[in-house]
Amino acid sequence: MTAVHVVLPGDIDDPANPSGGNAYDRHACRGLAALGWAVREHPVPGGWPHPADRERAELAGLLAGLPDGAVVLLDGLVASTVPDVLTPHAGRLRLVVLVHLPIEDDAEGRALAAATAVVATSDWTRRRLLDRYRLAASRVVVAEPGVDPAPVAAGTPGGGRLLCVAAVTPIKGHDVLAAALAHVADLDWTCDWVGPLDRDPRFVDLMRRRLAGTGLAGRVRLTGPRAGDDLAAAYAAADLLVLPSRRETYGMVVTEALARGVPVLAGDTGGLPATLGHAPDGDRPGLLVPPEDPGATADALRRWLTDPALRERLRRAARQRRLTLTGWPVTVDRLATALKEATAA
């Protein structure tokens, strides 16, 4: 049995703080264990990716206590800003950094250079890392997130149940969505914003004031985070997932919607176009709009809400795309291959 030490953010299992990265890490640990790996989890509390001196010292002590030759999988949120902690162990440990979201600064470049291998969670992320840093292409591999199977959502005739699943922060574009929704206030819709409200409280307060000022406070519900059956119920009730992110490396919520045959309206940025993908017949299972463009987002929403033929076409494409999605076992197999190659190295 091969052992792997997995260094994780301390909040990995906090239901009040869900994230795509935490969900990926949890699936990875469970999947590797199912494949026969001895998974040793090491959650490290702290303000990652901006740790305090004490938290950096604790991570250094953790790595120092691992045996020579140990395989260590580190979440990039922890690893990417502490090259001084990783570099002293680069020769004796097999360090593998899992990058969910590139930070794109010199510290990250030095941290990744200290790693035996780097696992990116999308092709877009891999390209960004290779463009930004002097890394050997053979050392940077991709293990895209999987998705769990789910029943097809029934949908409503008018398509007015809109859903946004993301932490309410500027990078996720809720301000763009609020402005776009104000432009289509004459139409029949509701929109649930599902996600943490404590990442940027000032921004959340601004969004509440803006929604109240445009008369939308009763139609846009900030529900806070949901998980498990509650989150599944939100997807099952949705007609359209809206993700107006300014930047997104993959967008796991997109495949979670597509797994239920729910079309997606998303920003044309980062890895989102590839994640949305195409149905086997070539149709997009949703609409892409320029990021940071409330007018384009509003135009797309108006088309969705007023054109029954468009809704039917996108729903059909989403249900076809659903059949092409891969599950978490594929992700874990790719990750396990990267770890085996690091062991051999």
Contacts of 45 (CB under 8 A, 6+ apart): 10, 11, 55
Q: What pLDDT sits at residue 240?
A: 98
Residues in the chain: 345
Residue 226 has a CB neighbour count (10 Å cut-off) of 18
In whole angstroms, what is the distance from residue 204 CA to residue 138 CA? 42
Which domains are assigned to the chain?
Answer: 3-146+326-344 (3.40.50.2000), 161-322 (3.40.50.2000)
Distances (CA, A) of 323 to 148, 277, 279, 320: 12, 12, 9, 6
Residue 306 has a CB neighbour count (10 Å cut-off) of 13
Q: For the whole model, what pTM was predicted?
A: 0.94
In whole angstroms, what is the distance from residue 143 CA to residue 333 CA? 8
Tokens of 186: 């004459």
Strand, helix or coil for residue 219: coil
Q: What are the residues facing 163 on neighbouring strands?
A: 192, 241
Q: What pLDDT sits at residue 253?
A: 98
Q: What pLDDT sits at residue 1?
A: 62
Q: What are the residues facing 192 on neighbouring strands?
A: 163, 221
pLDDT 10s per residue in the chain (345 long)? 689 999 999 988 888 788 899 999 999 999 999 999 999 999 999 999 999 999 999 999 999 999 999 999 999 999 999 999 999 999 999 999 999 999 989 999 999 999 999 999 999 999 999 999 999 999 999 999 999 999 999 999 999 999 999 999 999 999 999 999 999 999 999 999 999 999 999 999 999 999 999 999 999 999 999 999 999 999 999 999 999 999 999 999 999 999 999 999 999 999 999 999 999 999 999 999 999 999 999 999 999 999 999 999 999 999 999 999 999 999 999 999 999 999 887
In whole angstroms, what is the distance from residue 146 CA to residue 143 CA? 9
CA 306 to chain centre: 30
